[in-house]
C-alpha cells in the first residue's frame, strides 16, 4: 500500500524559518541506519512524571524561537539557548533546541587585538580549539552587505565555507576579527574555512581542521579513465538550450546498462573522481553521472533577467510564484533521460536512477523524487536549502523512492530542514535512512555522503546492470 505525504507538513519550513525536525544528536555520527532505529535526541532533564499534572503546557518550535532574543539566526548566544533547556517542549521544539545548542556563539571579550595578531602571524585566517570551543581569527574588510544578510549575521568579513554565520567582533580601527563558537562533536569534525568565496585557497588564506576522531574523505583518482562531455540540449519544456554534463565510465561489457546519478553540473568531475576510485577498489559497479546545470549558468544563449541565485532557485523550487521547477523536472524526465538511454546505454529501470544534490540541489533531489517516484528510485538530498515558506500543498506517494538524507551539525537551518523532511517521510511510511555529520555547509560532508550512498545502492556483488 502506498502512503501519501502532504508537503504542507514540512516544506513550508524549508525557507527562511525552520520549525522542527527529527534526528539524532550523538557527537559521533553513526553509520547509515534506518530512521526508525535512530536514537532520540539527548534531552535536558524534564520535570518529574509524577508532577505531570502541574507541568506547564508544551512549547512548540515556533514559540521557542520567539522566546530567544531578537537577533539574526547566526548570532544566537549559547547562554540564551541553554537557559531554555529546562522548558517543557514538544518533540519538534526539543529537536530544534538540540540543533541550536550544537552550534551557538560564545563570548570573545577575553580576546585582544594582540591575541589575534599573535594567532595570525603572517596569515589571514587561523583557529584555536579548546574542548567544544572553536575560535576563528581573521583579517579582512567587511563583507558585502547582501551576503551578510543572507548569512544571517549583522556584520563580518568575507568567509567561507564550513562556518557561514556567527557573531564576529571587529576591533575598531583595524581589519582584525574574532568569532568563537560551541560546536557539537568537534573531535569528529572536519572544518574547512577560507577568506574568499571566489579565489583558490592558499596556506595563508585558508585552514582545514580535522578532529582527532574525524573521518578522512573518500579516495579520489587523480586522472579519470572515463570521459566527461558537455552537451547543449534544447529543452522544449523551458524553451531554452541547456548545458548538460555527462560522465561516462569505461565500458567493458557491451550488454551492461549503467545506473544513472543526476546532480548539479559543477559536481560531475568531483563525483566522477570518487566514483572511479570506488570502482577501482571493487566497492561499486560503474555508474553514469549527469549534471544539468541550473539557472543562468546552464542556459546557452540569453540569460534570464534575474541574478543567477534567483534563476537557480526558480529551477529547483516548486514553492516560488516564478518557479520553473515543473518545466525543469520535465526536461530531466522527458528529454535528458531518453537521451541517456538511447545514446549512452543507461538503464531504463527506476531502481537504477538517482537524483541528488546539496543545498538548493538537495531541495531539488527531495522535490523531484516526491513528484516523480516512478522515475527516480533513489533520492539523496544533502543539506536541504529552502527558498520560500509558501507553497502549493499536494500529496504524493513516497513508498517507491528510497530517501537517503544527510546534513551537518554546524549548518542549523539546513540540518533542521533535512531532519524535518526525514521525519515527515518516515512518518508517511517511506523508505528513509539519515546521517548527520560533525561538519558545516561543506563539500567534505557531501563527498562522504555521496560515496557512502554509492556503496550502499550499487555494490558490485549485486547483478551487474539492468536489462531493457
Mean pLDDT, the chain, rounded, equals 83
Q: Which residues neighbour 235 within 8 Å (Cβ) at sequence distance 6 or greater?
A: 241, 242, 327, 331, 335
Helix (H) or strand (E) holding 206: strand 206-210
pLDDT at 40: 34
**Average pLDDT of the segment spanning 161-179:** 91
Provide the phi-psi class of 303: left if phi over 0, else alpha when psi is between -120 and 50, else beta.
beta
Rounded CA separation 175/10 (Å): 42
Residues paired with residue 263 on neighbouring β-strands, in sequence order: 291
Rounded CA separation 271/352 (Å): 17
Q: Do 336 and 292 contact (CB within 8 A), yes or no?
A: yes
**Average pLDDT of the segment spanning 275-288:** 97
**Average pLDDT of the segment spanning 103-123:** 96
Distance in angstroms between the alpha carbons of the first and the last residue of the chain: 27
3 state SS of 111: coil
Least confident of 52-56, 216-220, 239-243, 299-303: 52-56
pLDDT at 430: 85
**Average pLDDT of the segment spanning 27-33:** 35
pLDDT at 52: 46
pLDDT at 54: 58
pLDDT at 164: 82
pTM of the model: 0.80
CATH number corresponding to 227-457? 3.40.50.1820
pLDDT band at 34 (very low <50, low <70, confident <90, very high): very low
Residue matched to cell numbers 583518482: 221
Measuring CA to CA, which residue among 413, 363, 384, 358 is closest to residue 102? Answer: 413
* Domain boundaries of the chain, sorted by first residue: 113-210, 227-457
Neighbours of 85 (CB within 10 A): 15
Least confident of 150-154, 233-237, 311-315, 319-323: 150-154
Helix spans in 196-267 (H): none
Residue 38 in this model has a pLDDT that exceeds 80 = no
Q: How many helices (H) and strands (E) in the chain?
A: 12, 20
Measuring CA to CA, which residue among 326, 461, 311, 458 is closest to residue 391? Answer: 326
Residue 153 in this model has a pLDDT that exceeds 70 = yes
458 or 308: which leads in pLDDT = 458
Q: Do 203 and 136 contact (CB within 8 A), yes or no?
A: no
pLDDT at 221: 97
Residue 44 in this model has a pLDDT that exceeds 60 = no
The pLDDT > 70 percentage for the chain reads 83
pLDDT at 272: 97
CA angle 272, 276, 279 (to 5 degrees): 140
**Average pLDDT of the segment spanning 55-75:** 80
Q: Do 419 and 61 contact (CB within 8 A), yes or no?
A: no
Least confident of 45-54, 138-147, 295-304: 45-54
**Average pLDDT of the segment spanning 152-178:** 89
Amino acid at each position: 500500500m502506498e502512503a501519501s505525504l502532504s508537503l504542507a507538513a514540512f516544506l513550508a519550513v524549508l525557507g527562511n524559518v525552520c520549525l522542527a525536525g527529527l534526528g539524532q544528536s550523538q557527537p559521533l555520527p553513526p553509520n547509515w541506519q534506518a530512521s526508525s532505529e535512530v536514537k532520540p535526541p539527548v534531552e535536558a532533564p524534564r520535570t518529574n512524571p509524577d508532577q505531570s499534572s502541574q507541568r506547564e503546557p508544551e512549547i512548540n518550535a515556533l514559540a521557542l524561537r520567539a522566546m530567544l532574543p531578537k537577533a539574526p539566526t547566526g548570532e544566537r548566544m549559547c547562554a540564551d539557548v541553554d537557559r531554555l533547556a529546562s522548558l517543557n517542549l514538544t518533540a519538534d521544539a526539543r529537536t530544534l533546541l538540540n540543533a541550536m545548542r550544537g552550534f551557538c556563539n560564545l563570548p570573545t571579550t577575553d580576546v585582544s587585538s594582540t591575541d589575534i595578531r599573535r594567532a595570525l602571524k603572517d596569515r589571514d585566517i587561523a583557529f584555536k580549539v579548546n574542548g567544544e570551543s572553536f575560535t576563528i581569527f581573521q583579517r579582512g574588510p567587511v563583507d558585502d552587505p547582501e551576503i551578510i544578510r543572507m548569512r544571517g549575521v549583522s556584520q563580518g568579513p568575507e568567509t567561507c565555507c564550513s562556518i557561514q554565520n556567527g557573531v564576529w567582533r571587529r576591533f575598531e580601527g583595524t581589519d582584525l576579527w574574532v568569532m568563537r563558537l560551541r560546536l557539537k562533536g568537534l573531535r569528529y569534525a572536519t572544518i574547512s574555512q577560507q577568506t574568499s568565496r571566489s579565489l583558490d585557497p592558499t596556506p595563508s588564506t585558508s585552514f582545514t581542521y580535522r578532529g582527532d576522531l574525524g573521518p578522512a574523505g573518500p579516495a579520489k583518482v587523480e586522472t579519470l579513465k572515463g570521459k566527461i562531455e558537455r552537451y547543449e540540449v534544447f529543452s522544449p519544456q523551458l524553451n531554452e538550450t541547456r548545458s548538460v554534463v555527462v560522465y561516462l565510465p569505461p565500458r567493458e561489457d557491451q550488454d551492461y546498462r549503467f545506473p544513472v546519478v543526476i546532480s548539479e553540473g559543477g559536481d560531475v568531475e568531483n563525483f566522477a573522481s570518487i566514483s572511479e576510485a570506488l570502482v577501482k577498489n571493487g566497492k561499486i559497479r560503474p555508474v553514469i553521472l549527469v549534471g544539468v546545470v541550473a539557472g543562468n549558468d546552464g542556459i546557452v544563449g540569453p540569460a534570464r533577467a534575474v541574478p543567477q541565485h534567483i534563476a537557480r532557485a526558480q529551477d529547483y523550487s516548486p514553492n516560488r510564484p516564478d518557479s520553473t521547477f515543473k518545466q525543469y523536472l520535465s526536461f530531466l524526465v522527458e528529454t535528458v533521460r531518453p537521451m541517456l538511454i538511447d545514446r549512452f546505454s543507461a538503464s531504463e529501470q527506476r531502481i537504477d536512477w538517482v537524483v541528488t544534490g546539496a543545498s538548493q540541489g538537495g531541495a531539488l533531489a527531495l522535490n523531484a523524487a516526491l513528484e516523480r517516484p516512478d522515475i527516480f528510485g533513489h533520492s539523496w538530498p544533502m543539506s536541504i536549502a529552502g527558498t520560500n515558506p509558501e507553497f502549493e500543498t499536494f500529496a504524493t506517494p513516497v513508498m517507491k523512492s528510497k530517501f537517503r538524507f544527510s546534513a551537518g551539525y554546524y549548518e542549523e537551518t539546513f540540518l533542521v530542514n533535512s531532519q524535518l523532511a526525514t521525519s515527515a517521510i518516515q512518518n508517511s511510511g517511506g523508505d528513509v535512512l539519515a546521517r548527520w555529520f560533525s561538519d558545516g555547509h561543506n563539500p567534505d560532508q557531501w563527498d562522504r555522503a555521496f560515496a557512502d550512498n554509492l556503496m550502499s545502492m550499487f555494490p558490485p556483488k549485486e547483478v551487474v546492470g539492468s536489462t531493457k
